């Protein structure tokens, strides 16, 4: 099911190469393709920035996500759990395991993961361990308040939380190679 969001964001017609790279990465534990140089980050920014006005999911993009996952009539908690798991996956995309490196990661993918997480919290704060944990993850995505910014740590932490509290949603979204 994860590929549905990739096809929504990176249409095979308009962004064939990026679509292929994002889908290929879901079949590997580690990727040799990295998106940390300026041209790669510019390409990603051109795709993701319109989805994130003011750092939040645009209403239209949020509706596309709900449609892609048949969540239009789902409860806020179900929607939040799905967004949380999608956030976990994008945190992984930005990590050194996939499109980042040990010292750098695609900023827009971190921002997208954080926007998904914030929308999940807006819909259902109860699915989060605590507001402090939300703040911690958010600070790590943005490197604020001297937070350790390793997105593979954030992705792992979020993945453990989802596996413990909504494993069915996580397993329906997270690529098998990343589980």
Distance CA 19, CA 23 (A): 6
Tokens representing residue 54 in the block = 């003011």
Q: Which residue has the tokens 């993945």?
A: 159
Catalytic residue, candidates 71, 74, 150, 153: 150
Decide if 36 contacts 94 (C-beta within 8 A): no
Collapsing DSSP states into helix, strand and coil, what is residue 46? helix
The pairs formed by 130-134 with CB atoms below 8 angstroms and a separation of 24 or more are 133/161
**Cα three-residue angle 159-98-41, rounded to 5 degrees:** 115
**How many Cβ atoms are within 10 Å of 59's Cβ, its own excluded?**
9
Query: Does the annotation count 150 as an active-site position?
Result: yes
Residues recognised as catalytic? 150
């Amino acid at each position: 099911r994860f590929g549905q969001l990739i096809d929504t964001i990176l249409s095979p017609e308009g962004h064939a190469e990026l679509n292929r790279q994002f889908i290929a990465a879901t079949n590997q534990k580690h990727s040799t393709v990295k998106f940390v140089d300026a041209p790669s980050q510019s390409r990603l920014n051109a795709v993701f920035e319109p989805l994130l006005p003011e750092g939040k999911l645009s209403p239209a993009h949020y509706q596309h996500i709900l449609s892609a996952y048949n969540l239009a009539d789902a409860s806020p908690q179900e929607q939040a759990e799905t967004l949380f798991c999608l956030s976990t996956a994008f945190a992984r995309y930005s990590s050194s395991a996939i499109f980042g490196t040990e010292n750098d990661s695609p900023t827009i993918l971190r921002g997208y993961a954080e926007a998904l997480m914030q929308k999940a919290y807006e819909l259902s704060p109860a699915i989060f361990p605590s507001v402090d944990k939300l703040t911690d993850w958010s600070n790590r995505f943005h490197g604020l308040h001297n937070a350790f910014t390793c997105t593979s740590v954030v992705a792992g932490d979020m993945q453990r939380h989802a596996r413990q509290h909504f494993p069915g949603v996580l397993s329906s979204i997270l690529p098998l190679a990343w589980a």
